[in-house]
Structure 1
Amino acid sequence: MSISIMKFDLNQRTLSSLCFCLFSCWLLSVPFEGQVLYTLMENSKIHGITHNILAVFANFAGLFTSGFFIKEQIAAKMTMITSTVVCIAGSFIFYLPFSRLWYISIFFVAFFSGLFVASWGFYLKNYSPAGERLRTIADVLICSNVLMIFINVMAVNVSGLAALTLSIGALLSSLLLSFRLEAKTDVRLSKKALEALPDNIPSILNPLLFLCLFILIITINSGLMYQVVNPAFEHLSLLTSYYWAVPYILALLLLRNLPSKINKAYVLYIALTMIGLSFILFMGLNRSVLSYLLINTLMMGAFGVCDLFWWSILGSFFDYWKNPVQIFGIGLSMNVLGILIGGIAGSNIVTFERGYFKASIIALVIIFIIIILLPILNNKLSRLLKNHVFLVEFASMIESERKRIIDDFKVYKQLTERETQIVELLLRGYTYKAVSESLVISENTMKYHVKNIYQKLNINSKMELIKIFAEN
């Protein structure tokens, strides 16, 4: 059988990514700390952050519970469609004069938006190869934030209702695209994913839970940013509406194109340093334009690095868990819960004397805790993902480069055509059983080929195969 069965449906990958981007830009600009809803609330003479706390909590609830009842791709598609319809209907409520109905709408649209985001995990897993999930994630985060900036600028500088209309248009576009998503994935891909699951489930839970703790703690600083740092510069509304997410987008662009050989753990340490430095500057500097540019650039650039880090790590867990919605939903819910905790703490702190100073001290303490936890997290993740560290580099190579290296490898090591096919599949992360099914050969025949490959290469394991390939 041709190795072409491993090719992923780029149309579905692009389609699902566009669907997510359009929905996410509405989420970021309306219910989730969005300038559209803030502007509409202010126009209605409603102050405070009650609506935002409600929205963030409901979004957390949607993300956290999604994996318990969304277990197949067909269910994920229907959930995405249903959630979008609910969010469109709920958004129309904001055209009406303010009433308690607004709060009911905020809760439901935020809850269903959590279901939508988690459901997208099926499409990320099944239509983005493991080595390209980081790029897919970076692309959707960049696209979502670019669109969010455009809507937020309109909300702050033109009209909240006009921005709301534009955001509903994004939802409608997302809905139309979601009908074209596949309801079921390729059975062969499902078999391969199931075969890759380890037998010892607790070994997966331990690093996953630690990652969730890491995400929860570090995103408390995001909540402090929303409720302490951003309000401190609200007098610069024109500048903040345009520039706020720009460093975040630039950081994602940089990481997206970062050479795979660079150790991303070092990049994360740099990001943590940037967050700490931004809060130190926030304590000492005034509230001028220059101060904002410096503080926001450091802070949002660092948050871009952090977001891509744990989104991509959650994507790596997909290959070890049957239901990607559970992984994605619970992992991202910790992100939202951290923002909720930080937001509540920040809104209470700023009412006291020297509130900005106290908030910055809390942020620095969190950074200190994270620096202690990060080596432990790296250790736990590497124990589970150590067989995939190089595979990401291999899968992310452009097709021509990949083919050239495989061909050189075949000639130099004198491998047969079948042996070369097996090597490529093994390097992509297939188990021995999954390889035999993909190539339609018996397990005994598979063992025979593997034995010959190992003898020719003078190795004894798959890890040694990966090491040899890495050195060529």
Structure 2
Amino acid sequence: MGYVADIAKSLRARDTVFFGGYALYLAFSYMTFHSATVLTSAGPLGYGIEVMFSIGAMGARIVVYLICALVVRRLPKTSNSITALMTIGVAMVGFLVAGMVFQFSSAVSVDMFAPWLLLAGVLLGAGDALITLLWARFSSTLTLRAVYLFVVLCNAVSLVFYFVVTLIPSSAALPVAALLFAFSALFAKKALDARPTVEPEYSGPVFSGAVKGLWHPVLGTVILCFMSGLMLQISGQHEIPLESFQQTSLFTSAIAVVCLILPALLIKKPFNVGRIYSVALPLSAAGFLLLPIIWNAAGGIVNAFAQLGAMVAGIILWCMIADSANDTKLPSTLLFGLALACTNAAQLAGTAIGFLNAETLKQGDLVLTTVALVSVYLLLMAALLLFKDKRLASDDDEPAAQLTPEEALASRCDEIAADHQFTPRETEIFKLLAQGYTMPVISEKLFVSENTVKSHVKSIYQKLGIHVRSELIDLVNRP
């Protein structure tokens, strides 16, 4: 675990606090969108109103993600301060509208305050998308292992914040959520300022290569997000007391976070984060298999399984997109915007379909059993699709065989890469350097810019303590 200590030593205490601002955002998200914690400030609004709020937020996220992805290359670069202030401004208007609705919800009819609550959902969803893209920019400045540790640890810390929130009076939930959001946006600005500035580069072939590398995990996560939205509506979640739902979510999420953090702490060699999809898929499948049997028992444990599957898949996808943006120097807003628009659209579709059909599905119902089996089948298809992709497969799954000279060279490069803690992309470029390829050729093979290749080669030379290609060849050929 020396690499963890190295990361910790390289950070100043102040920077560590700012980086933890992502945990504040996650706690805000749990309160506002993943449970009814914030909406309970207004008392019983009705489940249909809560779903309308969620749908408004998801729709706004999709629009903001797509707009930002499409215009990121055409707009002049704005400072981190302006972006953070704009993000806070949009969200604060949403909080004000929501506060107004909560204040008068008991005195006016549902028909009067429902459009205003929908507007609050739209504004908070737009603010949520903007702050997500801020933290995406920060994540894209980290290596794969670093961003994985960052995201998982922030998820762990956010559970602590969320637990504290469950202890406060419900009337304080809305202002607490507003404070969490504002501080998270400010910390995101400070965290970006603390990282080296990297000018994004765009080229068609590089973008095509990134899409080719990411579409399998995006599709897998889309399926899980659709299932998550569907399960939330058909599992009887709205019949569960909020306290029970919160406790179940906290407990199951804590277990999932522990399972996620162990690979990064215990595996020394460069680990393939995509393999952790093997955790997400069984979690969701278990939820749907149990659905016809235990319905909403144990505080919504069935629903929690499906939500955890989507959460784990979302964490993995976040890390893979951040690593791709870091590696290719493509604008992070472009990659994250397109991918997150897809996952939110899938969750929106699952939520809408589940809500419209929830009343026709009852525990033990034949239709419900059919839904569960079809869902498991779709998850199985997602598993086959993901693990058929060799980039998401484990190197340990390859059968033992007599190595050819090319395979022996690759094996020797893997050993050196593991000993010097190369990133996956550095390992890939290291192998091509050892085979004698030039930087322009490597750039074409990997669909990245030549400047990106030069940056990785410089890092490889520094880690090996060498200065020229001949020293690299000697090192590889040394017994």
Letter in 1 for 2:90: V
Q: TM-score, normalised by structure 2?
A: 0.71
- After the TM superposition, which of the residue ranges 87-96 and 8-17 deviates more from structure 2? 8-17
Partner of 2:131: 116
- After the TM superposition, which of the residue ranges 53-62 and 253-262 deviates more from structure 2? 253-262
Shift of 1:317: 0.9
The equivalences for 1:344-363 within 5 A come to 344-353=352-361, 354=365, 356-363=368-375
Is structure 2 residue 49 aligned with structure 1 residue 64? Answer: no
Partner of 2:118: 103
Shift of 1:392: 8.6
Distance 1:394 1:334, change over 3 A: farther
Is structure 2 residue 94 aligned with structure 1 residue 90? Answer: yes
How high is the sequence identity, in percent, across the aligned residues?
14
Distance 1:89 1:431, change over 3 A: closer
Is structure 2 residue 454 aligned with structure 1 residue 452? Answer: no
Checking the alignment, whether the CA contact within 8 Å between 2:221 and 2:317 is kept in structure 1 is yes
Separation in 1 of the partners of 2:47 and 2:280? 36
The equivalences for 1:5-404 within 5 A come to 14-30=16-32, 32-40=33-41, 43-44=44-45, 47-48=48-49, 49-70=51-72, 74-96=78-100, 97-98=104-105, 99=113, 100-126=115-141, 128-152=142-166, 154=168, 158-159=169-170, 161-178=171-188, 180-183=190-193, 186=196, 190=198, 200-229=206-235, 231=237, 234-258=239-263, 259-260=266-267, 267-285=276-294, 287-289=296-298, 292-293=300-301, 295=302, 298-318=305-325, 319-353=327-361, 354=365, 356-379=368-391, 395=421
Letter in 2 for 1:360: A
Separation in 1 of the partners of 2:146 and 2:54? 34
| Large movers: runs of 4+ above 6 Å | 380-383, 386-393, 435-441
Shift of 1:223: 0.5
Q: TM-score, normalised by structure 1?
A: 0.72
Distance 1:10 1:431, change over 3 A: farther
Separation in 2 of the partners of 1:292 and 1:54? 24
Shift of 1:279: 1.3
Partner of 1:411: none
Paired residues in the alignment total: 405
Checking the alignment, whether the CA contact within 8 Å between 1:34 and 1:152 is kept in structure 2 is no
Distance 1:297 1:388, change over 3 A: farther
Separation in 2 of the partners of 1:310 and 1:209? 10
Equivalent residue of 1:68, what SS? helix
Separation in 2 of the partners of 1:89 and 1:186? 32
- After the TM superposition, which of the residue ranges 67-76 and 320-329 deviates more from structure 2? 67-76
Shift of 1:272: 1.5
Separation in 2 of the partners of 1:210 and 1:350? 30
Shift of 1:122: 1.7
Shift of 1:53: 0.9
Separation in 2 of the partners of 1:317 and 1:66? 18
Distance 1:240 1:256, change over 3 A: same
Shift of 1:450: 1.5
**What do residues 438-467 of structure 1 show as CA deviations (whole Å, max 9, x unaligned)?**
8999xxxx99721133134328xxxxxxxx
Query: What residue ranges of structure 1 are gaps of 5+ in the alignment?
Result: 398-429, 460-467
Equivalent residue of 1:114, what SS? helix
Distance 1:75 1:211, change over 3 A: farther
Shift of 1:116: 1.3
Distance 1:59 1:395, change over 3 A: farther
Separation in 2 of the partners of 1:367 and 1:390? 37
CA RMSD after TM alignment: 4.1
Checking the alignment, whether the CA contact within 8 Å between 1:219 and 1:335 is kept in structure 2 is yes
Distance 1:80 1:24, change over 3 A: farther
Separation in 1 of the partners of 2:84 and 2:211? 27
Separation in 2 of the partners of 1:393 and 1:349? 55
